[in-house]
Amino acid sequence: MECLIGLKGKDFVLLAADTTAGRSIVVFKKDQNKMYELSSKLLMAVVGDGGDTVQFAEYIAKNIQLYRMRNGYDLSVSGAANFTRRNLADSIRSSKPYQVNLLIGGHDESDGPGLYYMDYLGSKADVPYTAHGYGSYFVLGLLDRYYTPDLTKERAMELIQMCADEIKTRFLVDLDCFKVKLIDSQGIHTAKDIRAKRLLDNQSHDQAMQV
């Protein structure tokens, strides 16, 4: 029932995660943080089983910090993604696999922005845009239509707003708030939270993007 959305622009990556924490039919809280800073320019957004998400994210974050302490420099975005995927692949072959799905976004001085999609089965893909959770059924078509490689930060925020509005309108679970963070060459920046608005019956997405 959770949702993650990721976009890669020309010189930045934008990650958005809903703030709802729940289990079964019960909502526990509406201000859950599902993003974890792995380094100064590397961010992970995680959804899944509540205990697994925290334990796995903290394990990856501490190991990436240990790598920096031992070597004197940070892992690249692709290196961090490969390390994370390996841990997921090992986990699925164990007796207690992690039930987590995640996005990793970051910025390298040499390679620029990077965005990776991973799931609990150990799949990994380098993508320009993506989404996790049931919300992805409603937003992947919108991202496919409106995404462009030269996306500006302002346009990316508008696109995240449109995706949140679509989920608010179509999805039976009320995911009304998304926390948004942006990663560029200067580091990780916290953007204004996205508050979803229900679309009017006669309102098109083109009209919504202009509001």
Domain span at residue 158? 3-210
Q: What percent of the chain has pLDDT over 70?
A: 94
Please write the tens of the pLDDT for every residue from 19-65: 998 888 888 889 999 999 999 999 999 999 888 999 999 999 999 99
Rounded CA separation 107/133 (Å): 24
**Cα atoms found within 13 Å of the Cα of residue 189, Cβ hemisphere only:** 13
Q: What CATH number should be reported for the domain holding residue 138?
A: 3.60.20.10
**Pairing outcome for strands 112-118 and 124-126:** antiparallel
- Which two structure tokens, joined as six digits, stand for 16? 């958005």
pTM to 2 decimals?
0.91
Rounded CA separation 177/19 (Å): 6
Rounded CA separation 145/37 (Å): 30
Rounded CA separation 38/103 (Å): 12
Please write the tens of the pLDDT for every residue from 150-198: 999 999 999 999 999 999 999 988 898 999 999 999 999 999 999 988 8
Number of structural domains (the chain) is 1
Please write the tens of the pLDDT for every residue from 111-164: 899 999 999 999 999 999 999 999 999 999 999 999 999 999 999 999 999 999
What phi and psi values does residue 132 have, to the nearest 5 degrees? -120, 155
